[in-house]
Chains A and B, each alone.
Chain A
Amino acid sequence: MTPPLLEIETLHTSFSTEAGIARAVDGVSFQLHAGETLGVVGESGCGKSVTALSILRLVRPPGRIEAGSAIRFEGTNLLALAERDMQHVRGNRIAMVFQEPMTALNPVFTVGDQIAEVARIHAGASRRSAAAKAVEMLALVGIPDPAQRATEYPHQLSGGMRQRVVIAMALVMNPALIIADEPTTALDVTIQAQILELLADLTRRLGTSVLLITHDLGVVAENCSRVIVMYAGEVVEESTTVELFAHAHHPYTEGLLGAMPRVGRGAERLATIPGTVPAPTAWPVGCRFRERCAFAWDRCAKDHPPLYQLGSGHQSRCHLAEEPNRRAHPHTPLAAASGVASA
C-alpha cells in the first residue's frame, strides 16, 4: 500500500484557560489516503475543528500543539517546518474551506481579486494572468457569467455562490488535500445538495483528497468512504461508512445515529443521549462517555479504553469490544439516573 497522504499521530492540542488547561484534542491519530474523502464527525466541542486547524498550524495562542504530536503530510512532518515553508504548504498543497463563507471572504475586495491574489502569491502569476485564472476558476465551480461575477463583491452574492467562490479559491493551486470544516452547515438544504455535489465532482475529476468535518451523519453517509467519530477530544470509532451505519460499535456512535431524525421514519420518538459532554479542562478518568452510557460498568470508571481493533479498518474505544455480552444488559445511564436532564 502506498504511504498515506496525511498521517496524524497522537496529536495533542490544548488551550490555557482561566479554568485550567483545556485538552481540546487529546491524542488523536488517523490516516488519510490519496483520493479519499474522510469524514470527521462529532458534536460541538469534540475537537474536530481544532484538529483541522492543527493540521494547518493555525492554532493561535493560548492554544498550542503539544510536543510529541506529529502531522506527516506527503512524508513531511508539518510540525517541524519553518513558518515560511508552512506558508507554502497552506494554499499550495492543503487548502481550507470554512463554514461561513461571508467571514472567509474579505468584504472590501471583489471576489475576482481575492481568487487572483491566491494565484499571485502562491504561483507568482502576473496581474493579468491571475485575473484570467480567477474567471477560469469561477467557471469551474459552476458560477454563471464568471467574468461579470469576478467584478462583484461578496455581499452581492448569495450564500451558495459565496461558498462556490471559497471552493474556487481553495482549488486555485490544485492542492492535494482540501480540509472542509462544516462547508454546508450555514446553507439551505437545496443549496447544500448543490455544493456537496460540486465538491464531490471536482475532487473526483482533480483527484483531490478531502477531510470533511461535519456534525451531520447524513452528509457523511453520502459523501465519505471512511469516517472517524470524535468525542471529548478523542477518536472513539473509526470505520468505513457502510460498516459504521450498519454495525456501529461505540455506544456514543449508536446514540448519535439514534438521535438523528430521519425523513421517512414517521413520528417515532427520537432516541436521546442523556447528559452533556464533560468539560475539556477535566476529562473524566476511565471512559469519557461513561456517565452517559447505558452499558458502563466499574471497569469503565477505572481503565481508559484504548482503540480496540474490531475487524479490518474498524476500531472502537469501548471495553465492550472485550466483553461483548455486557451489551445484553443495558441500564439507566448515570447522567439520566439523577432524574434531571442536563443538556
Chain B
Amino acid sequence: MTHDQPLLVVRDLTKYFPIKRGVFGNISGQVRAVDGVSFDVAAGETLALVGESGCGKSTTGRAVLRLVEPTSGSVYFEGDDLLALGAGDLRRVRRKMQIVFQDPFSSLNPRMSIGAIVREGLTIHRLAEGSAADARVRQLLEEVGLRPEYATRYPHEFSGGQRQRVGIARALSVEPRFIVCDEPVSALDVSVQAQVVNLLQDLQRDRGLAYLFIAHDLSVVEHIADRVAVMYLGHIVEHAPVDALFSTPTMPYTQALLSAVPAPDPGVKRERILLAGDVPSPANPPSGCVFHPRCQHPARDAACAAIVPPLEEKAPGHWAACIKQTPTAVSWEAQRAAGGASPPEFYIPRAALHRSLDTSHSSPASE
C-alpha cells in the first residue's frame, strides 16, 4: 500500500453463517459470506467495496465494525485489535467508527425526533449535555444541509434524501474518523443521489474522514472512490486505484460488471459481456476460481477449476485474482499439470472499456 500508516487494517477476514436444518437446528453446512478478505483504508481516503447481491460486501462492512462477529481474521483500527477488545473498550473505539445505512426508512427510529436521533450518540459517549448538546445538534443538522429547526420533527415528515442526511448527521455527531457507508445512495432518486454523494465528498474534504463505501453501482463509485475492491462470492477478486480499475479492468468478472452498466449514449451501440446464469450459492462455491463457471476469458480451461487464483499484483498497485491474465506467478507448467490447455494471455474485451468508448464518441470517425 502506498500509505505508510493505514487507519484501518483488515486481514483474512472471514464470516461463515451456519445453515441449520430441522427442529433441532443441526448445522448442515456453512454459507461463506466473507472468505479471507484483506484490505487497508488510510486516513482521509475512500475505499469502495463493489459487487452484486450476496457477494459479501455488506457483511464485510458490518464485520469490520463488529456489528456481526467475524468468524476469523483480524481488524486493526488505529493500531487497536478490534476483535480482541472487550465491550467497554469496543465502545470507546466505535466512537471513531460509524456507519450510514442503505435504507433511510428503516434505519431511523420513527418514534424519535430528528434531534433525539442525532443527540443519542452525544449522550452515550458523554460528549455533550444540556444546551451544549442542543447547540451541537443544530450545528450538525446545518452541516448536512438540513434546517436546525427540523430537530423537533419526526422521520416520517422527511423525504428519502433528507432522512439520509439525518443518518449522516447521526454518524458525524461523535466525530468519527472512519465511516462505513453501506449503499448510502442506492435507495435515492438520481438528482438526490448526486446531492448526497457531493455532501459525503465535502464532509470528507473538511474533516479528513475515511470511508469504506459499499456499493453495487460502479458509476457512483468512480465519482467518490480513491481505490476500489471488487468482491465476488466472498472474495476480493480485484483491487486497484480507481483510474486503473476503470481503464484496465483485469479480472474477467470486473470486466463483465463494467460492461453491464447501461451507457447513457443512445448513439453508441455497446457490446456487452452477457454473463451466463446466476451467481452460485456461497454455501457451495465452485472449486478453484469462484468465477470460472461464468468466465468469458478466452484462455479459461480446466486449470481455472483446479487452482485457487492468488490475488496478485498485475501492475504496480493493481491486484487481481486470475491465473489467465498475465503476468501471473502461477506458472504455465503448474497450470498444465492441473489440466490447463490454454496458456495465459492478457485480455480486455472492448465491451469492458467505457473510457475509450467516450473518446470514440467525441470523434465518431474512430468508432
Chain A contacts to B: CB under 8 angstroms: 43-44, 144, 158-161, 188-194, 196-197, 215-222, 241-242, 244-246, 255-257, 259-274, 276, 340-343
Contacts and interface: CB of A to CB of B under 8 A. Distances in A.
A261 B195 contact: no
B195 A264 contact: no
Contacts of A245: 264-267
Contact of B262 (A43, A161, A219): A219
A188 B55 CA distance: 11
B260 A270 contact: no
B266 A261 contact: no
Interface in B125-164: 142, 145-147, 159-162
B263 A218 contact: yes
Interface stretch (B24-32, B73-81, B212-220): B212-220
A261 B147 contact: no
29 contacts: A43-B190, A159-B53, A188-B216, A189-B217, A190-B52, A191-B278, A193-B260, A193-B262, A197-B272, A217-B264, A220-B266, A221-B264, A222-B270, A242-B267, A245-B267, A260-B190, A260-B219, A261-B197, A262-B264, A264-B354, A265-B223, A265-B358, A270-B197, A270-B223, A272-B191, A272-B195, A340-B146, A343-B145, A343-B191
Contact of B189 (A197, A215, A219): A215
A217 B354 CA distance: 16
A298 B48 CA distance: 45
Contact of B52 (A44, A189, A197, A276): A189
A191 B52 CA distance: 10
A343 B195 contact: yes
Contacts of B266: 220-222, 241-242, 244-245
Interface in B168-218: 189-199, 201, 216-218
B357 A264 contact: yes
Given A263-B246, A264-B358, A218 B262 contact: yes
Contacts of B355: 264
Nearest to A192: B260
B261 interface: yes
A218 B264 contact: yes
Contacts of A273: 191, 194
A271 B190 CA distance: 10
A274 B191 CA distance: 8
Contacts of A217: 190, 264
A263 B222 contact: yes
Nearest to A46: B189
B85 interface: no
A76 to B, nearest CB: 33
B262 A216 contact: yes
Contacts of B279: 158
A194 B275 contact: yes
B112 interface: no
A343 to B, nearest CB: 4
Interface in B45-68: 52-53
Contacts of B216: 188-189
A188 B53 contact: yes
B145 A263 contact: no
B278 A256 contact: no
B190 A340 contact: no
Given A158-B278, A264-B357, 6 more contacts: A196-B262, A219-B262, A245-B264, A260-B190, A261-B194, A343-B145
Given A194-B275, A216-B262, A245-B265, A261 B220 contact: yes
Contact of A257 (B196, B217, B264): B264
B262 A221 contact: yes
B58 to A, nearest CB: 14
Given A261-B222, A269-B201, A343 B162 contact: yes
Given A43-B190, A161-B278, A343 B257 contact: no
A276 B161 contact: yes
Interface in B222-240: 222-224
Nearest to B202: A269
A244 B264 CA distance: 11
A144 to B, nearest CB: 8
Contacts of A266: 222, 243
A160 B145 contact: no
